[in-house]
Amino acid sequence: MATSEADPDTALGDTSACSLDVAADLAEAGDFQGAIPMLRAATHNPHPAKAWEMLSQCLTAVDDHIAALDAATSAVAADPGWHVTLRTLGRCRLNLGDLEGAAAALSAACRGAGPSGDEESRADLEHVGRLLQRRVGHAIGIPGLVLANTAGEGPSGLVWDAGRVLAAWLVQAYAPWVERAGAAGAGCGPGGCRLDEILHCCRREKQGTLRPGCGVSCDASLCGDPSASGHTHRCRVSERSDPADSDHAPKTVVPNCTPTSPRNAANLLQHVTLLELGSGTGVVGLSAACLGARVTLTDLPEAAAALRANAAANRALVERGGGSVAVRPLAWQEAEGSAVAAEGYDLVLGADLVYNDAGLGALEAALRALFCGGPRERRPSAFLYAHKARHPGLDVGLVRMLDGVGLWHEVLARQPQDKVTIYLCTECAVVDDASLEGATRLGCLLFQRSKRTVSPLRAS
């Protein structure tokens, strides 16, 4: 009887199938260490996707998450269209904190499952989505803040570095739940605000020991232009003269005010009206609203729907903080004469608004509409802007654009890791004391502004 030689691939496949069955039984019994070497051996068969996927699960069970990720990656490489391997890859990425990577893999798993769907992958994807929405809130110090982070919807659907840095700075400076050094209501942490310093500075200004600046010389480290030495920028005050001789006289005279009891610095944002330009996800404006501000979020009409969704998702959190949020569409080139610009605000916020020269021109149009048009008493007191350094030409262009609008600008804070600088831009110098923390300098401005109407810091 003639016999044929056995196909080696078939024989190997039979052996591998047997090994997989035994390994599966061991894993079901909780003997992951016993299953792992058998699964490693099975990965050498011609179709190893299942072995790699099972190995990844066992490695996860013994908390070897890096090796589990490697195994899951190999499983997907062996069978890119199998939704089970994609789901396992997503879970491995989640275990290592890679939320974006987990979301991408789980989304692919849902698509790969076809019309019948994959309930496990969908449930995991929803879980990752909730974590993504809350991650920024935890990072900036408002754990309950929920933000949709939708990379597929263009720049407005992402939380950019500058927005995160500016929101975190506001929280660190003014949030009542942030513990600061010193006595209650008067201390400050890094970038924190000292109310006693604010009141002291305001009293000094009323007494005439502080005056708005009229002459400035450029500090190249601030404007980013090493060739600008001696060039006049509104970067740093270098001379003082009588305010009557300056085109940048203060908007208000600050009356003396001495509260009878310490107040928390967070009161400085209570009831302050803020306009955020180019809000995107709204992370900066929503953070300010959680601190008690009355905020108007603006962006292009096509981004307004997502912005309203984020505002609605955080309504209860904002109300608990004493603030409010409104969403308005606004194209910067059309800001002049618009209802939004005519409403009047205490402070304008922005983060990472420009990427090129065209963006600078559009932003200039918006700032001119806000700071150069309408009755002076309705113009904002300042523009608080977080700038992401991308290339020197854009950085210098930003400084020159602010000059053209007629705004002083000083650095309140830097985040070198993310290449983000926070600028306070005003029509006049706020306080001639470089030793003050940035939050205190902004606090002086908000305190001055509040004296026009009813001060949230008035004495008890």
Same domain, 223 and 274: yes
Whichever domain contains 425, its CATH number is: 3.40.50.150
Residue 384 lies inside a defined structural domain of this protein: yes
Higher-pLDDT residue of 118, 190: 118
Q: DSSP readout, 74-131?
A: HHHHH-TT-HHHHHHHHHHHHHTT-HHHHHHHHHHHHHHT-TT--HHHHHHHHHHHHH
| Sole residue written with tokens 């918006």 | 366
Domain edge (last residue) among 92, 125, 140: 140
Same domain, 121 and 186: no
The predicted pLDDT at position 438 comes to: 61
Tell me the chain's radius of gyration from C-alpha atoms: 29
Residue 324 lies inside a defined structural domain of this protein: yes
Same domain, 173 and 228: yes
Tell me the residue type at 179.
Answer: E
On the question of pLDDT at 454 being above 70, the answer is no
The predicted pLDDT at position 133 comes to: 77
Between CA 379 and CA 361 the distance in angstroms is 20
Between CA 248 and CA 252 the distance in angstroms is 12
The predicted pLDDT at position 20 comes to: 86
- What percent of the chain shows pLDDT beyond 90? 42
pLDDT band at 8 (very low <50, low <70, confident <90, very high): very low
Helix (H), strand (E) at residue 72:
helix 65-78
Structure tokens at 105: 């893999």
Residue 157 lies inside a defined structural domain of this protein: no
Residues 6+ positions from 250 with CB-CB distance below 8 Å = 205, 212, 243, 428, 448
List the beta bridge partners of residue 386: 351, 422
Same domain, 75 and 28: yes
Helix (H), strand (E) at residue 276:
strand 273-276
Same domain, 182 and 218: yes
Residue 1 lies inside a defined structural domain of this protein: no
Q: Tell me the pLDDT tens digit for each residue of 334-381.
A: 888 888 888 889 999 999 999 888 899 999 999 999 998 877 878 898
- Taking the CA of residue 440 as centre, how many other CA atoms within 13 Å lie in the half-sphere pointing to its CB? 25
| Percent composition of the chain: helix, strand, coil (DSSP 3-state, to 5) | 50, 10, 40
Residue 217 lies inside a defined structural domain of this protein: yes
On the question of pLDDT at 449 being above 90, the answer is no
Same domain, 265 and 405: yes
As a residue count, the chain comes to: 460
Closest CA relative to residue 140, chosen from 154, 126, 160: 160
Q: Tell me the pLDDT tens digit for each residue of 50-92.
A: 999 999 999 999 999 999 999 999 999 999 999 999 999 999 9
| Average pLDDT of the residues in 208-218 | 33
Q: Tell me the pLDDT tens digit for each residue of 301-339.
A: 999 999 999 999 999 999 999 999 999 999 998 888 888
* Residue 449 C-alpha from the chain's centroid: 26
Closest CA relative to residue 201, chosen from 430, 457, 458: 430
Contact between 58 and 65 under an 8 Å Cβ cutoff? The reply is no
Domain coverage including residue 122: 8-140
Closest CA relative to residue 294, chosen from 250, 349, 257: 349
Residue 145 lies inside a defined structural domain of this protein: no
The predicted pLDDT at position 231 comes to: 34
Residues 6+ positions from 268 with CB-CB distance below 8 Å = 174, 193, 195, 198, 443, 446, 447, 450, 456, 457
Contact between 140 and 287 under an 8 Å Cβ cutoff? The reply is yes
Higher-pLDDT residue of 151, 100: 100
Structure tokens at 140: 């900036």
Residues 6+ positions from 326 with CB-CB distance below 8 Å = 295, 296, 297
Residue 118 lies inside a defined structural domain of this protein: yes
Residue 153 lies inside a defined structural domain of this protein: no
Q: Tell me the pLDDT tens digit for each residue of 372-416.
A: 887 787 889 899 999 999 888 999 999 999 999 999 888 888 999
Same domain, 311 and 352: yes
Between CA 216 and CA 239 the distance in angstroms is 6
Same domain, 74 and 191: no
Same domain, 132 and 175: no
Task: Give how many domains the chain has, as a whole number.
Answer: 2
Same domain, 128 and 209: no
Between CA 56 and CA 47 the distance in angstroms is 16
The predicted pLDDT at position 439 comes to: 65
The predicted pLDDT at position 432 comes to: 53
